Amino acid sequence: MTQTNGATLARPQGGPAAAWQAIEEAAAGVVADPENSKTAARLLGGLIADETARHGVRSFSESVAAAHAEGLLDDGLAAFVAAEAAALDALVDEAADDRFEYFGLRTVYDRYLLRHPVTRGVLERPQHFLLRVACGLSSSVGEAAELYRLMSSLAYLPSSPTLFNSGTRRPQLSSCFLLDSPRDELEGIYERYGQVARLSKYAGGIGVSWTRVRSRGSLIRGTNGLSNGIVPWLRTLDASVAAVNQGGRRKGAACVYLETWHADVEEFLELRDNTGEDARRTHNLNLANWVPDEFMRRVEADGTWSLFDPKEAPELTDLWGEAFDARYRELEAAGRYVRQVPARALYARMMRTLAQTGNGWMTFKDAANRTSNQTALDRNVIHLSNLCTEILEVTSDAETAVCNLGSVNLAAHVTAEGVDWARLRATVRTAVRFLDRTIDLGYYPTPEAEAANLRWRPIGLGVMGLADVFFTLRLPFDAPEALALSTRIAEEIALAAYGASADLAAERGRHPSYGETRAARGVLHLDHYPASPVHPEEWAELRLRIEATGLRNSLMVAVAPTATIASIAGCHECVEPQVSNVFKRETLSGEFLQVNRYLVRDLRRLGLWTRETRDAIKTADGSVQGLPGLPDDLKALYRTAWELPQKALIDLAAARQPYVDQGQSLNLFMAAPTIGKLSSMYAYAWRSGLKTTYYLRSRPATRIAQTTVPAVRPEAAAEAVACSLENPEICEACQ
């Protein structure tokens, strides 16, 4: 390990020590001068070229031949490249490496380039890697060239599983898998464990519902005993997830969803607590609440909430909207509940879990089902989201929902004059075609996943670099112009994506379940919202096209977190504001210093980029609000996520939602969360029509504990919720 100006870098094995020292010295100077990032990247690019040359690799075709000889690549890919070697070698643009920042290229080097199984030296250069991914998804040189040029310009990147596995012998290309709750029987539960393990092995993020499994104290008729509830089963799942490390590339990861009426919900909310009996805790699973509207209405009304054993009320899992509301009240009136609790007390417990752990994500069952293209028929129900809360697809015991993801880099589509709308649409059309291709080319670890993906053909096209757009165009995140621009970007992407899917349907056929969708009935996702599109005439024309051709894909758009691919592209993550103007990124490769290059450009123009300024920003945890001499407009522009009103982030997401037919991984930020602030914030997100939220990001735990009071009395929690819900206009979280 090397310590450089506060950044700790893990020096890889291999490569001359002097070369690594030069790279690390350049990387250490990134905060003083962001251009050092490019310098370090160029040095690393040279080292990679030398390393591949030692394995006899100088061209793309030689790279593929070497990797195939070591059993790393598919025979079909190797044959295609060998047959078209000259044309494919000519596509490689070595100068494109100059587009990488150091952190991005280092991420590619450490995690994505194919390595010799014995020497561990890399067998492909960065551009060889991108072209190999493109070839793995293509049937001709022309197709490979189109996708390669898009990726090499960093204008679009597929998700990590596709980057890891395209062209390999086991091409698992999908990002997300959603498994319905196991059947409430021993065999069903253990069958689900096995499915989760097989899916996680090949780099899939897992979402799994546990709502159908009976609650603690439920009678087991076969033995005349009483159930221990869901916690022991989730403990076993927790250990299984921890044991599967996705081929050594990243840890296995899963999120468990539970509906709010399940009688074990309070124990579920304690699973990530750091106190209490460890035998009733899970440390690897993420947790999410699958919340019906009826619960939120009762919270607002300060009503009573009834908790049910799913063994006694199994139908609630497959109902939503008015049907759920009616059946829930019937069961309640019949006294079929296990117990009743004040709705606000349970809601306060959810808020406390979020404040203490960041987990227990709030996701909304009715909004997800009410607006989905897949839920035109009653038998098709969305029961959960995925690991990152952006995928919303129907599941059943026989179908594991799957999604293939990719993200457009908005930073590559904007100049100081504005967004290049024509280029953005062209990028989207190409991305949709290749995302659809992954459905046919991918390896499926379970038959349930293959069946669902081929039947519905959903894709999840997202974005990254929205903050870069705002910085380039000088728009604060909470400016009305930023809201309008963000919404138009979403509309332009949706129009292009739906148009591309209609074209694919005309060319290759509509997806097999098209007749079960709302689109087949003339209803598009936009129709569920009172939106005012910028292009109403174009939407009208698109409807006529879809009526004639159908759609190749049941779902099109999902805003995923993009943590890793945004690093590769050198832009800010998905639709999020910056967390700090100067910060460290911690990865498996070490710690990397990063700085807001847009801010540095402005400070240099003002003559303020000095050592004293850098020290002041570091001391202020990356904030520039107290920086002397900085104009107010720049202070507003460069606020961090902690300094922005969270209402603005929710409003941006709500305005995008009509054009996002799946969900959005929406992180919310609060340095010192309290139950009152959180209760208002999440109620506002629900009222705004959001389908899902993701992590609650907060500052150090000691500060959280001081403001949330872990052992909060139920009556005090209810008072805090009441204060915020009944007076939302004064909530600090949303102002």
654 vs 483: CA distance, rounded Å = 10
Tell me the C-alpha to C-alpha distance, in Å, between residue 11 and each of 15, 179, 328, 450, 591.
Answer: 10, 39, 58, 40, 11
Using alpha carbons, select from 426, 328, 401 the residue that is nearest to residue 179: 401
Spatial CA neighbour of 646 closest among 685, 691, 611: 685
Residue with tokens 């969270």: 646
Give burial (CB, 10 Å; 0-12/13-18/19+) of 309. buried
Torsion of CA 123, 129, 134, 140, to 10 degrees: -40
| Neighbouring C-beta atoms of residue 85, cutoff 10 Å | 16
Catalytic one of 135, 388, 731, 734: 388
Residues in the chain, overall count: 735
Is 390 tagged catalytic?
yes
What is the Cβ-side half-sphere exposure of residue 669, based on CA atoms within 13 angstroms? 16
CA 620 to chain centre: 29
Whether 373 sits among the annotated catalytic residues: the reply is: no
Distances (CA, A) of 529 to 320, 364, 370: 18, 16, 11
- For this structure, is 388 an active site residue? yes
| Segment 314-321 long-range contacts (CB within 8 Å, at least 24 positions apart) | 314/184, 314/212, 316/259, 316/261, 317/181, 317/209, 317/211, 317/212, 317/259, 317/383, 318/381, 318/383, 319/381, 320/292, 320/365, 320/366, 320/369, 320/370, 320/381, 320/382, 321/293, 321/366, 321/369, 321/370
- What is the amino acid identity at position 242? A
Helix (H, G, I), strand (E, B) or coil at 13: coil
End-to-end CA distance of the chain: 44
Give the strand order in the sheet containing 2-4. 2-4, 7-9, 590-595, 582-587
Q: Give Cα 142 distance to the centre of its chain.
A: 31
How many Å apart are CA 732 and CA 229, to the nearest integer?
38
Among the listed residues 386, 409, 553, 581, the single catalytic one is 386
Q: Indicate which residue of 62, 390, 393, 573 is catalytic.
A: 390
CA dist 465 and 468 (Å) reads 5
Per the structure block, which two tokens stand in for 26?
């350049």
Write down the residue that tokens 């065999």 correspond to. 187
C-beta separation of 151 from 163 below 8 A: no
Q: 62 φ, ψ to 5°?
A: -65, -35
Catalogue the active-site residues.
386, 388, 390
